[in-house]
Amino acid sequence: MATCALCRRRFPDEAIADPQAFQDHHLRPERRRTSETVRLCRPCHDQIHALFTNEQLREEYNSVAALRGADRLQGYLDWIRTTTKLSIDVTTSNRVREQR
Ligand SMILES: [Zn+2]
Ligand SMILES: [Zn+2]
């Protein structure tokens, strides 16, 4: 079973045919060697890198708790939790967020 650290969706291993469906996110992106990593589903990983610069990730969103509390992620998280998607078009999720 794989669980995304951000949206907390759970997927049985056999549902994850694509090895890229879950990815390690470095909480401090510029320090890949020593940075703590978390397992994220690809939609969450794509979304946080689309919304935040590495500098913002390092300075403001360097923990799962901070990411989960980010205002700009609330619409996305509400939406992704209603789906079982393991890949998204980030422009689609941006549109979904702006409509809220
Ligand atoms: Zn996720
Ligand atoms: Zn990342």
Q: Residue holding tokens 């470095």?
A: 26
How many angstroms is it from 56 CA to the middle of ligand 1?
19
Q: Pick the residue with more confidence: 25 or 34?
A: 25
Tell me, what amino acid is at 4? C
How many angstroms is it from 33 CA to the middle of ligand 1?
23
pLDDT confidence of residue 56: 94
Q: What is the mean pLDDT of residues 9-32?
A: 85
How many angstroms is it from 78 CA to the middle of ligand 1?
11
- Identify the CA nearest to 96 among candidates 42, 47, 25, 39: 47
Neighbours of 48 (CB within 10 A): 20
Q: Pick the residue with more confidence: 96 or 61?
A: 61
Give backbone dihedrals phi and psi of 44, rounded to 5 degrees, phi first. -65, -40
DSSP states along 51-70: HS-HHHHHHT--SHHHHHT-
pTM of this structure: 0.85
How many angstroms is it from 6 CA to the middle of ligand 1?
5
pLDDT band at 98 (very low <50, low <70, confident <90, very high): low
pLDDT confidence of residue 13: 85
Q: Residue 25: in which H helix or E strand, if any?
A: strand 22-26
Tell me, what amino acid is at 34? T
How many angstroms is it from 40 CA to the middle of ligand 2?
8
